[in-house]
Amino acid sequence: MKKILLLFFIFISINAFSQLQVKEGSFKYLPGGVIDDKEEYTDGNELPMALIKISTENINEQERMRLVFTGNRATQIIKKPKTGQMWIYISAESATFIDIKHPDYGTCKYYLPETLCDYCVYEMVLQYLQPNSTNNEASKPRNTYLVIKTDQEDAAIFIDGQFAGTKQTSKSFDIGSTHTWKIECDLYHEEIGTVTLNEKTEIVKTLRPAYGYLNVNSKPENEAIVYIDNKKVGTTPYKSDRIASGSYSVRVMKEMYQTEEQIVVVTDNLTTDAVLNMKANFVEVTIKTDPESLIYVDEEYKGKGTWKGRLTEGAHFVEAKKKSHETSSKNINLVLGKNETIDIKDPEPIYGFLDVNSNPMSANIYLNGKSYGQTPNVISDLLIGDYELKLQIEGYHVLKKNITIKKGETLYLNEILEKGKDVNLKNDAGGNKIYVDGKHAGCSPLNSKKESWSDYMDNGVNFFTIDGSYSRKTDFLCGFTWGSVDKLKITNYYSVMLDLDLLHYVSDYFKNSTVNLDENNKINRLSLMYGIVVPFENVPMNLRFGAGVGIIVKYKPSIDIDTSMGLFWNYKHFVTGLDFVSTDFKTFEIKLSLGVNWKK
């Protein structure tokens, strides 16, 4: 009796300090879950088994391996440890309960809520609870944080299959809970794992590159078009940006070469070089003909006289063309590996005939300026085309006529020349004397007409003037202006004006910056100005407008704005002007200009 009581108290004591139990409501059927290898997972009676995936709370990996699972006599159980879980395969039809034992945590009997179906998959959570834990529950935290970080900005983080954020995230869970996590990022390898949270856990992952680089070159020539997986990406030599690791179909194409293609494997974080050797699909050809003839190949112009280049293998049609000549042609057939030199017969001339007579006879015959004897004359072997015919004889007007010579035909002409003499007028360089057929024949009546202002200004003139201005405040200033004038468009000018006393002031000022220039408060000034000249039509007078920088000195320098407006006259080689000038409305001056101009 004492032994029975002792065993009873020991049992009570064990259960007072530890307890195993299946978490309420955690047993679930997983729709779509099926055991893959059905033949392997049948019991001793060759009956189908089911799979139960058991997650644990407050049981680490080492203690989870010590769990023992048993059932009734007709039930067979196979235990397989997994990361963060324990999988058990159990006879499906006969299983009614599971005994779960741990040498330190006690025993738990769990009655299955339903009959297991053949080869189906289930899940449940096994908990280890401390006895009397409710007394200390208020003083202990019930949850903790899972923090996941990675080094890529656009990396996507998933916890328990749910998207949780990019690059880094944190989430609170029950202490002792087990969770799966995954990190995905384009061009990087996927990272996955399972974690049981007994305290705050931080997972930091540097993602492994799942990309490389691809260089594509072509031989014997570059500038071949590059296709990667049938997508055009550039021309050789080609260097890719980051490209996902794996196999690619690389193709290069170039005119006159056969297309080449090969499979290339891009490796993580490495550069792969692909060199594709293209086979020539052309023949080097030299075509020769008459130096003045134009060469055509397949009706495409290639050159004049001689042409060297590439043609694809096979048949081609070559021609030599020349004005007023029969086109020469040849059919050729090119074979790879055999370069060709092709001579094309010179185009043969196409002739017509001209039978020309005149009254009076013995007129000199010229065709396009070339002499062909005297009338009457039959000119044979005359190339077809258009000509200017000229008949000329002393004492008669020159006859000029446009004619057309046609293939194999004779053009008959009988022309009557009129008596008289053609006058060839020619002025001397000054335009004063007239020459007729090289002989002096008097003076030109144009010589008596004086050249007008408008004639003189036909192309515009340049001018330069000496200027002087006066103001009650500044006394006299002197300077110069240069620019240009045109009778049809606006031109420009530049002006410089200076008070000579200013030179003494500048010298003294730099020697002694406190120097007082003038006890009578005299103002000294420098003016630098740019302006435009606006013409009046058919009148030798123009408007001038200017603006620039005015430097006024009274004890010390100050910089202000100069403005100017005035009139400007041109007469032959002389110019004069009258302007009104102000410096920031502090000084007012009248400026006179006198100078010269000359044709551009």
Tokens in use for 437? 């057929």
Q: What's the confidence (pLDDT) of residue 523?
A: 61
Which of 11-20, 200-209, 212-221 bottoms out in mean pLDDT, i.e. has the lowest?
11-20
pTM over 0.85: no
Condensed to tens digits (0 to 9), the pLDDT of residues 567-599 reads: 888 877 888 999 988 877 777 889 899 999 888
d(CA 599, CA 15): 124
In the chain, the amino acid numbered 254 is: K
Is the pLDDT confidence value at 412 over 90? yes
Is the pLDDT confidence value at 136 over 60? no
What per-residue string of b and e applies to 254-273 under the rule 16 or more CB within 10 Å gives b? beebeebeeebebeeeeebe
d(CA 546, CA 560): 14
More confident residue, 428 or 87: 87
Task: Say how many C-beta atoms besides its own lie within 10 A of residue 559's C-beta.
Answer: 11
Question: Is omega for the bond preceding 376 within 30 degrees of 0, making it cis?
Answer: yes
Task: Say how many C-beta atoms besides its own lie within 10 A of residue 337's C-beta.
Answer: 7
Mean pLDDT across the chain: 83
Q: Which helix (H) or strand (E) holds 506?
A: helix 501-511
Task: Say how many C-beta atoms besides its own lie within 10 A of residue 553's C-beta.
Answer: 21
Strand extents, DSSP E, 189-266: 191-196, 201-205, 211-219, 225-228, 231-235, 238-239, 243-244, 246-253, 260-266
Q: Which helix (H) or strand (E) holds 16?
A: helix 2-17
CATH topology of domain 282-349: Immunoglobulin-like (2.60.40)
Measuring CA to CA, how many Å separate 399 from each of 360, 386, 405, 436, 589?
A: 12, 17, 18, 19, 72
CATH number of 211-277: 2.60.40.1120
- Per DSSP, the three-state class of 347 is coil
- What mean pLDDT is predicted for residues 305-332? 92
Beta bridge partners of 466: 480, 594
d(CA 377, CA 483): 66
Which of 79-88, 199-208, 318-327, 544-553 bottoms out in mean pLDDT, i.e. has the lowest?
544-553
Confidence of residue 502 (pLDDT cuts 50, 70, 90): low
Q: Which helix (H) or strand (E) holds 61?
A: helix 61-64
Which of the listed CATH numbers 2.30.40.10, 3.40.50.720, 2.40.160.20, 2.60.120.620 matches domain 456-599? Answer: 2.40.160.20
- What mean pLDDT is predicted for residues 225-248? 94
Q: What's the confidence (pLDDT) of residue 445?
A: 47
Task: Classify residue 511 by its DSSP letter.
Answer: H
Handedness of CA 474, 476, 477, 482 (dihedral sign): positive
- If we measure between CA atoms, which residue out of 423, 413, 368, 361 comes closest to residue 392? 361
- What mean pLDDT is predicted for residues 97-116? 89
- Per DSSP, the three-state class of 94 is coil
133 Cβ contact partners less than 8 Å away, ≥ 6 residues apart: none
* Domain range summary for the chain, segments of one domain joined by +: 18-132, 141-205, 211-277, 282-349, 351-416, 456-599
- What mean pLDDT is predicted for residues 165-175? 91
How far is the first Cα of the chain from the last one, in angstroms, to the nearest whole number? 142
CATH number of 351-416: 2.60.40.1120
- If we measure between CA atoms, which residue out of 59, 52, 56, 174 comes closest to residue 105? 59
Is the pLDDT confidence value at 156 over 60? yes
- If we measure between CA atoms, which residue out of 305, 300, 311 comes closest to residue 343? 305
- What mean pLDDT is predicted for residues 382-387? 93
CATH architecture under which domain 141-205 falls: Sandwich (2.60)
Task: Classify residue 552 by its DSSP letter.
Answer: E
Confidence of residue 422 (pLDDT cuts 50, 70, 90): low
Helix-strand-coil percent breakdown of the chain, rounded to 5?
A: 10, 60, 35
Q: What's the confidence (pLDDT) of residue 543?
A: 87
- The percentage of the chain sitting over the pLDDT mark of 70, rounded to a whole number, equals 83
Q: Which helix (H) or strand (E) holds 455?
A: helix 453-456
Do the domains at 141-205 and 456-599 have one common CATH topology?
no
Tokens in use for 221? 């020539």
Count Cα atoms within 13 angstroms, Cβ side, for 330: 15
Q: What's the confidence (pLDDT) of residue 391?
A: 94
Confidence of residue 132 (pLDDT cuts 50, 70, 90): low
Q: Backbone phi, then psi, for 489, in 5-degree steps? A: -140, 165
Task: Classify residue 384 by its DSSP letter.
Answer: S
Task: Say how many C-beta atoms besides its own lie within 10 A of residue 512's C-beta.
Answer: 8
